[in-house]
A and B are shown apart, each in its own frame.
Chain A
């Protein structure tokens, strides 16, 4: 093809293309009803070339398509129905589905709770929560609360019965003491069966008290995976490590809770003191336990979007003469509830003190951010706690409310040893 033909073709093409774009005239004075009937021109004849391919081929479009069924279901399908079903707090009986963990390091999994608030027509409140986590931790419980038929205390005093089964396949153990080495990491398995009975009383709108007797049998065996503590530690220095323990306990508790909530707690606090006497079968174990937990909230702004939150845990166990305490019942620090940024149950001894300070602020109506510092130490006796003995963890946490009153927290904690990430489906702090 000669240059001339090329040029003529070019001119022809260019002229044709330019015609639609440039051919215009002034706006009409009246609406073009009659012309609309006749004119069938388009301002653009076809879709942009490769437009659909470009959009369809974009990796984010594939992501869209992948998530579409789940999100559509959340909008108006089964997931939505599940999420928007009537609150079980309004029902007399039924099944509650949830998601939870079985304490630190347990992972999380589905929780199914059968409940009846008027069992046998006698206002007996019965709950049967069943939890199984992806790390194969199991918690099965039966709790029943019966109002005591006394005119003075009716509705405020209840008789409680409980039974439970707990299996923890691989809890961590590093030995005792505030300076236990991270290199001593071992695991152990416990299977606990427990029965309890007692009375609970509501002393006021904010205060409760209770006295309960507990019978529990805890078996300790080798973990399902990891290094067995039974192979690594001596049973004489680690009471209860070989075989397990049967305990009878009498627990007295008193608590006060006047937390005010607007999604998160922003004012008031909750305190609980628990004193128990524990006596082991066979005469090896006998001790008193004193446990105080406290959390308080101080709003920094009138709209409660900025809050200072503090938390404290103090526990000490005192043996009676010639007796000891099962190692697994000693307080341990290193969890989302005590000292973040450390391995689970990193420090264990008869006495433990943990303090948390958080600054929380709202960044969106359904998201809060918290900056925290945790301090904690363990010691053989209360008097052994020292100012320079604290381990420090710090980090940031996110509160997300997918549903009102059902927050999920995501905590990222750091320490001198490591970093840890925690997810909590029922945060209490």
Chain B
């Protein structure tokens, strides 16, 4: 190959810069990642179990990740692989996985309370039992209500009325408002007299292990093990069966090979990585693959897979019984804890040795005490969660911070707890955990957000929020930001401001304006010993331009 001389390289570099600048402003922002093209019906994936979440997920995939040399190099260079489905404003576009809701456009109290629930509320004046699981740790059944809609019915534990159903309703609505696809979950009330068994409902007999007809006695035995109300009715969590063909859970690593729309490895999807942070907030520790569901749906004449998170019964300190202490503190099989136990000869006190404090029968063990957002662990480790970067977590923190106290109070009301003190406690604890999550993750990034542009004469005012300041983690008078304007070959001097707005008048753009091209404003937030990488905000500017639009935000 011939040697390319310096002059040629310079010309090439100029062309490249021009091409990039040109391309930068040529098309619309990508707020919809259109992964909803018509696809052939995929095969049903078997229900995820021990093999998927422990052997494959924790042992095999975990080991593969530990053996991934490029990943170690990137980590050593403090340059981890960022999520693939992030647009230029550091946001996650809508897709079959995620829909931007409260975070970008505040939902009203009614919308928050409604959550994913659409159409009829369950009418359990007449119920037909179509399937039942009378035995086991979590008895439940599948029913049809008076409208003919199908529901999965879950009961509260005998000694913990309202606990699990309340937690599931609250978490469902929070996850919905956060942007995830979730099922319609209702608090409902069932009278034993309204329960009728369908003609051919079979169960496996506990004693003989053989199939037989479900009987009224089976239902009575089951109902004796669950919480009943003083009037004899049963409060239940009714989860409406989602329309579409169930195709099994989605994998937490890799792609679904029979879904052509699935082109982003799940471990590189931001909304899935960040699920760890959002789940830590509501202590939704059961995040196994089985807690997800792919549904083959038909929308607007297209058939494709929509991806759901399901089953939030193990959250907010609830489960069948109150959440045990180790959940959130340790994995189900926690090698770190086991190693500490081995080498300390059992002196180390691991999470599974400790008992959770039961706040009340309704609340369970929800608490902000001993909650550490960075150390919080779901039931099993996952590559998806260990890929979480500071920017993913910052995004999740922004989502969480979009929930204010009045929003949470509105959502908690829908749990229909029997005591007002329960509502107050749950809201207070969620607010405290929200503060702890934000404090931890915001401290790892610049924490500047909500950028907007305003015209000020011929100049521009760039406004932003400093979330660390707004949330009160530092004193207001600690606000100091350095900024620098660049445009083409022009670079301004660095200037210091003490407010969350940067005024750039026409004069300061004078020289820059002559060069044309996008304006780049670099902002350093002063709050750490060394200045972090600046956040860079790009926008177009020209004298007399009516609308100013931020084109790109670059962090790190």
Chain A residues engaging chain B, CB cutoff 8 angstroms: 3-4, 6-7, 10-12, 14-16, 18-32, 35-37, 39-48, 51-52, 55, 58, 60-61, 63-64, 67-68, 71-72, 74-76, 81, 85-86, 303, 305-306, 359, 361-365, 367, 369, 371
Contact = CB atoms under 8 A, between A and B. Distances in A.
B51 A72 contact: yes
A231 to B, nearest CB: 47
Contacts of A35: 31-32
A103 to B, nearest CB: 30
B346 A71 contact: no
B345 A32 contact: no
A369 B37 contact: no
Nearest to B54: A71
B341 A361 contact: yes
The 9 closest A-B pairs by CB, nearest first: A361-B346, A24-B88, A15-B19, A25-B29, A363-B341, A19-B23, A23-B27, A75-B49, A71-B51
Contact of B104 (A16, A27, A86): A27
A371 B265 CA distance: 46
B476 interface: no
B550 interface: yes
A373 B207 CA distance: 45
A86 B105 CA distance: 55
B60 to A, nearest CB: 5
B51 A11 contact: no
Contacts of A363: 338, 341-342, 346
A40 to B, nearest CB: 5
Nearest to B339: A363
Contacts of B67: 60
Given A15-B22, A26-B549, A44-B84, A51 B255 contact: yes
A18 B23 contact: yes
A255 to B, nearest CB: 31
A59 B322 CA distance: 41
A40 B28 CA distance: 12
B8 A7 contact: yes
Interface in B239-261: 254-255, 257
Contacts of A85: 209
A32 B31 contact: yes
Main secondary structure of the interface of B (DSSP, over half): loop
B24 interface: yes
B26 interface: yes
A44 B268 CA distance: 12
Contacts of A48: 84, 265
A41 B552 CA distance: 18
Interface stretch (B10-18, B163-171, B279-287, B467-475): B10-18
Contacts of B37: 40
Interface residues of B, number: 72
Contact of A75 (B50, B105, B345, B549): B50
A42 B63 CA distance: 32
Contacts of B16: 10-11, 14-15
A364 B87 CA distance: 43
Contact of B353 (A25, A32, A72, A303): A303
Contact of B85 (A3, A22, A43): A43
B33 A22 contact: no
A371 B343 CA distance: 12
A86 B338 CA distance: 32
11 contacts: A15-B19, A21-B88, A22-B20, A23-B30, A25-B550, A36-B32, A58-B64, A67-B55, A74-B50, A85-B209, A305-B353
Contacts of B46: 72
Given A7-B15, A23-B551, A42-B35, 20 more contacts: A11-B19, A14-B16, A15-B19, A18-B20, A22-B88, A23-B30, A24-B30, A25-B549, A27-B100, A29-B105, A36-B32, A36-B34, A41-B30, A45-B263, A60-B64, A67-B51, A72-B51, A306-B346, A361-B346, A364-B333
A63 B89 CA distance: 41
B352 interface: yes
A25 B91 CA distance: 11
Nearest to A6: B4
Nearest to B253: A55
Contacts of A14: 16, 19-20
Nearest to A363: B341
B373 interface: no
Given A10-B12, A27-B104, A31-B105, A41 B34 contact: yes
A25 B551 contact: yes
Given A11-B12, A15-B20, A22 B346 contact: no
B359 to A, nearest CB: 22
Interface in B47-92: 47, 49-51, 55-56, 60, 63-64, 67, 84-89, 91
A89 to B, nearest CB: 14
B300 interface: yes
Nearest to A4: B8
**Residue from A4, A25, A37, A76 having most chain B Cβ neighbours under 10 A:** A25
Nearest to B28: A25
A42 to B, nearest CB: 6
B87 A43 contact: yes
Contacts of B552: 22, 24
**Residue from B2, B55, B352 having most chain A Cβ neighbours under 10 A:** B55
